Amino acid sequence: MEVDEQIKLFRDFIEQNYHAQLLEAVRKGQNSLKLDFSELIKFNTELIEELIEQPEDLLKAAEIAIKEFDLPKKVDKFNVRLKNLPESLRVNISEIRSKHLGKFIWTEGIIRQKSDVRPHVTAAKFECPSCGNVLNVLQLDKKFKEPSRCSCGRKGKFIERSKELIDGQGLVLEESPDDLDGGSQPKRINVFLKGDLVSPISERRSSPGTKAKLFGWISEVPINLRTGGRSIKYDLILEANNVEASSDDPSEMKITTEEERKIKELAKNPNVLNIIANNIAPSIYGHDKIKIALALQLAGGCRKERPDGVVTRGDMHILMIGDPGSGKSQLLKRISKVAPKARFTSGKGASAAGLTASVVKDEFLGGWSLEAGTLVLANKGFAIIDELDKMTKEDRSSLHEAMEQQTVSISKANIQATLKCETTLLAAANPKFGRFDPYDLVANQINLPPTLINRFDLIFPVKDLPSREKDERTAAFILSLHQKPERAASEIDSDLLRKFFMYVRRGNPKLSDGAIEEIKQYYITMRNMGSNEEGGITSIPITARQLEALVRLAEAAAKIRLAKTVTKKDAQKGIELVDYSLNQIAKDKETGKIDIDRISSRITASQRSQISVVKELIHSLEKELGEKILPVEQLAEIAKNKNVSQEQLDEVLSKLRRTGDIFEPKRGFIQRL
């Protein structure tokens, strides 16, 4: 097809379908027009075939056609963008080959990096001093290129007459994990955006971590060797013609009317929570309480923004600590299949930069750029971390801000940025010595800092204790699955379950007075359970963080029923789980009371009160003897009257020695510092 014919066809097509939009765009000062590919196919198929084969030439013809119109303003450069491309033109990033060079394609992926916007030379005009011929050189390389020779035979020393500058920006697009077969490495491609694709509006659409559809053609970029020559290997680059943000927000996922009907039917069932809990992981025996907690976590609480700008998170974080072989990792893997927008990672292979965000040297356009990590990419979704205790101390500290404030702040290499990270965290860890010691503090056995533990709404110890009856049932269950694997099929299809949670997460139930009263009563009762009359330090059974956890759990229970209000019953479900969790990990076996310090600090309240008792005894003995150096034997005798045994006294004295409160001037004697 001749160029004149192409221009005429484009002119007719735009006149028939897009004349009003074109005039409107020019009036508003925009310099691009989006054409619908499907309409263009109906108009002329031959034109489409050529467009796919030679997109650059045809789009230039379309631009020339636009300039022929009688426009209200003079336009220098007007871009034509295409949208609504058919599935047949879609090519996955890993499948791009040399046969696609110069062809029009579209692909989808996650934007991983984004460089700064800088002006680029697209073409430069040179004049030959000998014959006056004007040579146009396209600048595709990193290095500014001059013509090597003219048709008249002249080599070198050409006069530069003019050059075209255009705003340019580089992106790195990576395959989305949903499109990958398990275990394969996601491939990346560099994308070059120019012109109005880098306007401030589209800037927001293409921030790291968002999913996008990119339409354009593949070009090759020569690689220069260090020796100065050129490599035989070329780099591929996608020259973008259009960018569309594709919605990966689970709340905007498409749910058909048939699926919606099934979801509503399921939610109406009075026993919905148990049905869902049983279907979350049908191949794992037992752990009923944990499964219910996971069902509530998948539904999530409600995020609230107050007028003063303070945001209360709606995401619940759950930590499972358990003996090896108790099925924690199985549960996590299964949740990563059911949860909307889930990302799975294991502690040993995760670093702070990989979890939050990192600043990397941009090889494509120079400078530095931001690369989003797991927690940011799982925004409005789930981050699942196995083997949390195997992460290094520095890397774990990066989770603090992400869990409570739900942002990730970065100040590195001249980049100060705060990224959104509204992510729900589900983590699993092993006890410090591989297995639980039933007689020691849980906090001493979790190799995690108290500040991090405190941020989890629910903590479940998964203990593997032998009991004939339970072991018999477990063994029968596991062995029957080996015999007939299909027995583990859940009644609800995984896809429907995932959509169920997506649908449920959109809800925003309000707390009723009954629910508030129930939670308040539980909180106050628990708070004042630890007050003891004998003096000493009282234990704190529960903190405000657990109060918020109760609210989130109650909201989640209401969401699962698709209810508009949180009832007293929902609040009781939340209370039951928090109570179960606290009884499992925070019960002080000496006093039988719940003491949150067992989780959130290394010294329990009862130990703390023993320390204060012993300190008092040392003080009174000093006064009695009128000496600084005190015999330990005498101290032990007085301590006995105060119900402090010899073992407890030795323990307290060794603690005081470690903290530097007392020292031992000679054996069997102590002195205060």
Domain ranges of the chain: 3-83, 100-248, 257-506, 603-672
Written as six digits, the tokens of 326 are 């108790």
**Amino acid 163: pLDDT:** 84
d(CA 292, CA 280): 9
Instruction: Report the candidate in 596, 586, 585 with the shortest Cα–Cα distance to residue 541.
Output: 596
* pTM of this structure: 0.70
List, in order, residues 6 or more apart from 507 with CB less than 8 Å away: 558, 559, 562, 563, 564
Q: Tokens standing for 60? A: 């230039």
Please name every residue paired with 318 in a beta bridge, in sequence order, or none if there are none: 426, 458
Instruction: Please report the pLDDT score of residue 105 as a whole number.
Output: 92
Taken as a whole, the chain contains a residue count of: 673
What pLDDT, on a 0 to 100 scale, did the predictor assign at position 442? 64
pLDDT of residue 438: 67
Radius of gyration of the chain (CA): 34
Q: Please give the Cα distance from 410 to 416 (Å, whole number).
A: 6
| CATH superfamily placement of domain 257-506 | P-loop containing nucleotide triphosphate hydrolases (3.40.50.300)
Residue 219 carries which side chain, given as an amino acid letter? S
Give residues with Cβ within 8 angstroms of 204, minimum separation 6: none
| Alpha-carbon span 462 to 320, nearest angstrom | 7
We find that the CATH architecture of domain 603-672 is Orthogonal Bundle (1.10)
Q: What is the DSSP letter of 112?
A: E
Beta strand pairing status for 230-245 and 211-224?
Answer: antiparallel
d(CA 30, CA 217): 23
Domains 100-248 and 603-672 share a fold: no
Beta bridge partners of 221: 235
Backbone angles phi, psi at 511, to 5 degrees: -75, 135
pLDDT recorded at residue 603: 59
Q: How far apart are CA 339 and CA 35, in angstroms?
A: 37
pLDDT single digits (tens) 429-478: 888 777 777 667 666 677 777 778 778 888 888 877 788 888 888 888 88
The whole-number pLDDT of residue 203 equals 67
Nearest CA-CA partner of 518 in 592, 594, 579:
579
Interatomic CA distance for residues 464 and 173, integer angstroms: 45
Phi/psi-derived region of residue 310, left when phi > 0, alpha when psi is between -120 and 50, beta in every other case: beta
Tokens standing for 161? 């007459």
Amino acid at 657: R
Strand order in the sheet with 342-346: 342-346, 382-386, 424-429, 318-322, 458-462
Domain 100-248 has CATH 2.40.370.10: no
- The shares of helix, strand and coil residues in the chain, as percent rounded to the nearest 5, are 45, 25, 35
Give the model's pLDDT for residue 537: 42
Q: Does residue 543 contact residue 596 with C-beta atoms inside 8 Å?
A: yes
Residue with tokens 């797991």: 374
For residues 38 and 237, give the distance between their C-alpha atoms in angstroms, rounded to a whole number.
26
Indicate the helix (H) or strand (E) that contains 407. Answer: strand 407-412
Flag residues of the chain having pLDDT under 70. 140-142, 177-184, 201-206, 247-253, 362-366, 438-439, 441-444, 488, 529-542, 586-608
3-83 CATH choice from 2.40.30.10, 3.30.1180.10, 3.40.50.10880, 3.30.1640.10 = 3.30.1640.10
CA dist., res. 145 & res. 349, Å (int): 44
Cα angle: 74, vertex 79, 82; to 5 degrees: 145
Pairing of strands 104-114, 211-224: antiparallel
Predicted confidence at residue 538, as pLDDT, reads 45
Cα(631)–Cα(624) distance, integer angstroms: 12
